[in-house]
Structure 1
Amino acid sequence: MASWNSIPCRVAYEVLGWSAFFCWSVSFYPQVYLNYKRKSVVGLNIDYALLNTIKQVYYMIYNASLYFSPYVQKQYGNKYGHKQMNPVALNDVAFSAHAVLLSAFTLYQIGIYDRGGQKLSRTTAGMTVIVTLASIVCAFIALPSRSWLWLISIFNGIQVALTIIKYIPQAVFNFTRKSTEGWSIGLVLLDFFGGVANFLQMIMQSVDQGSSKNIYGNIGKLLVAVVSIVFDILFICQHYCLYPPKKSEADKSENPVNAV
């Protein structure tokens, strides 16, 4: 596949890519720590947690296939041109693998900590079954002709759809509770900066190549960044503007003037 034309562009691409990896990877830990500290997952929507795990699995399959498989890369070249660069970077593969592990660990925490009576919705359960069955059917369709690029593109589309859907239960959950307690704002802020870095990384590759094919050749990566940024802005508004954290009794006693 194509190589870089500009060393500064390549350096900027790598810096932005690993910045996105750092922000998005570290973003899992504030929620994991908050769950551990409280011994509770009350405030973390279970539907969000499950949909996020499934989304990360599909994203990992797409990234790993396009990055490591010469056969898939050849099919990508046949479709978009062999002079195009691989739209998947090593940081994408590293992030998605890490994300699967941490998402699965968060589900484990949901299984052992207090959930406050919260249960998985029938909608999410049904959606999980439908996505799984559809993926199996697509795999059987792709098998005879070995249309692996087509298959992982379907998977990429699924993970984009799940990215859009997964945030909605958490946003609605915060709205109905009129609170973001139990939902880590650290996760949101790091996710926001990771999305920005991820978006700029794709732009940098387009600038170097003088082409936008890397963007619509991996439209899923672009949409994930944009969707994450939009919902993170919503969560930031919920946390700091609509439902600011309430002061504890200890804080009120330390600041009697503000407590009046």
Structure 2
Amino acid sequence: MKLMPIEWNSENISGIAGSISIACWVIVFVPQIYENFHRKSAEGLSLMFVVLWLAGDVFNLVGAILQHLLPTMIILAAYYTLADIILLIQCIWYGTEEKVDPVHLSPANPMSESVLQDVFHEGEPLLYEEVIHHSNEPNEEYQTLDNNVEIVTENGSKRYFKDALIVTAVVFGGFLSWYISYCNDSHNSKPSEPDLTMNWLAQLFGYLSAILYLGSRIPQILLNFQRKSCEGISFLFFLFACLGNGAFILSVVIISLDSKYLLVNASWLIGSLGTLFMDFVIFIQFFAYGKGRLVSSNDFA
């Protein structure tokens, strides 16, 4: 493969954005699936959120097939559907209900390690691992309860650095994938005109998927608000969804702003723009609530 200088035209920028979008969507479900598996719990996820997202991906898959999109997009749509099914199985298998029993946190009861094991259920290992009596880590933050039990929270800067490293690797992987293809096809590539053929059945499925994608975020936002916590849901899960949608929107609009072209892609653009906005709301909840409130004896007095 001979390295080629990149010609920064709209088609190449669209290709780069599209490749980055695909890389984000390939990895998007992995953090949440791992989070659920590691915690042996799916309580942070709204079951309705997963069900609606699954329905949206099914309609997206059917629409992609009917609209004769690229084989890679059809394969990705099938992959999304499979990943949704895995999330749904986790929600059913582990359950999504709150498992914390506040009775053991009564001020009358000493908060011993055995009590903490009862309160922070075996299905929530991450919560329990954050509760210790002593720690010598200089980078950790502490909050001491009335009974001198110290709650250790993960250092924010370390977590953000780790997330930024993962995101950078995925984005670079998407760009590198496009660049390899660009170098191999640069001599044979010709500017391609966007397909403006309107398939009304495919459009119907596209709009249905957009509605379901938008509706899926509402139960999750309400659940986070009700719990005043984002504990149990992966920050990277929604971050990759935002990056994937943002890169996809760029890959579409950079090609053309012609009204007919935008109309053909309207359902997918509306779905991506809408879910991008809703995911920003969830990001606000992440920063407002964090991964969960530290337990205080006042909460159960």
Q: How many residues align?
A: 191
Flag structure 1 segments of 5+ consecutive residues without an equivalent: 1-5, 68-87, 119-147, 250-260
Provide the secondary structure at the position in 2 that maps to 1:206: coil
200, 205, 209: which one aligns with 1:150: 200
- AA in 1 matched with 2:73: D
Q: What's the offset of the Cα at 1:177?
A: 0.4
Q: Pairwise CA RMSD of aligned residues?
A: 2.3
Does residue 177 in structure 1 map to residue 227 in structure 2? yes
Corresponding position of 1:15: 16
Q: Aligned partners of 2:281 and 2:15: how far apart in 1?
A: 29
Q: What's the offset of the Cα at 1:247?
A: 7.6
Closer/same/farther in 2, CA of residues 16 and 233 from structure 1, 3 Å limit = same
Q: Aligned partners of 1:166 and 1:245: how far apart in 2?
A: 21
Q: What's the offset of the Cα at 1:248?
A: 6.8
Summarize deviations over 1:180-216 as a string: whole Å, max 9, x none.
0011111111111111101101112216xxx232221
- AA in 1 matched with 2:67: L
* Contact 1:179–1:245 (CA under 8 A) maintained in structure 2: yes
Closer/same/farther in 2, CA of residues 46 and 246 from structure 1, 3 Å limit = closer
Provide the secondary structure at the position in 2 that maps to 1:232: helix
Q: What's the offset of the Cα at 1:64?
A: 1.8
* Contact 2:229–2:292 (CA under 8 A) maintained in structure 1: no
Does residue 161 in structure 1 map to residue 200 in structure 2? no
87, 90, 94: which one aligns with 1:113: 94
Summarize deviations over 1:135-173 as a string: whole Å, max 9, x none.
xxxxxxxxxxxxx93222211111111111110000000
Q: TM-score, normalised by structure 2?
A: 0.59
Provide the secondary structure at the position in 2 that maps to 1:48: helix
* Contact 1:21–1:91 (CA under 8 A) maintained in structure 2: no
Does residue 213 in structure 1 map to residue 260 in structure 2? yes
Q: What's the offset of the Cα at 1:12?
A: 1.8
Provide the secondary structure at the position in 1 that maps to 2:42: coil
- AA in 2 matched with 1:223: I
Q: What's the offset of the Cα at 1:47?
A: 0.2
Q: Aligned partners of 2:246 and 2:21: how far apart in 1?
A: 8
- AA in 2 matched with 1:49: V
Provide the secondary structure at the position in 1 that maps to 2:9: helix
1:29-48 → structure 2 map (5 Å cutoff): 29-48=30-49
- AA in 2 matched with 1:215: L
Q: What's the offset of the Cα at 1:246?
A: 4.4
Which protein has the bigger helix share? 1
Provide the secondary structure at the position in 1 that maps to 2:67: helix
Flag structure 2 segments of 5+ consecutive residues without an equivalent: 1-6, 100-197, 296-301
Q: What's the offset of the Cα at 1:221?
A: 1.2
Corresponding position of 2:26: 25
Provide the secondary structure at the position in 2 that maps to 1:109: helix
Q: Aligned partners of 1:225 and 1:31: how far apart in 2?
A: 20
Q: TM-score, normalised by structure 1?
A: 0.68
Q: Aligned partners of 2:35 and 2:55: how far apart in 1?
A: 22
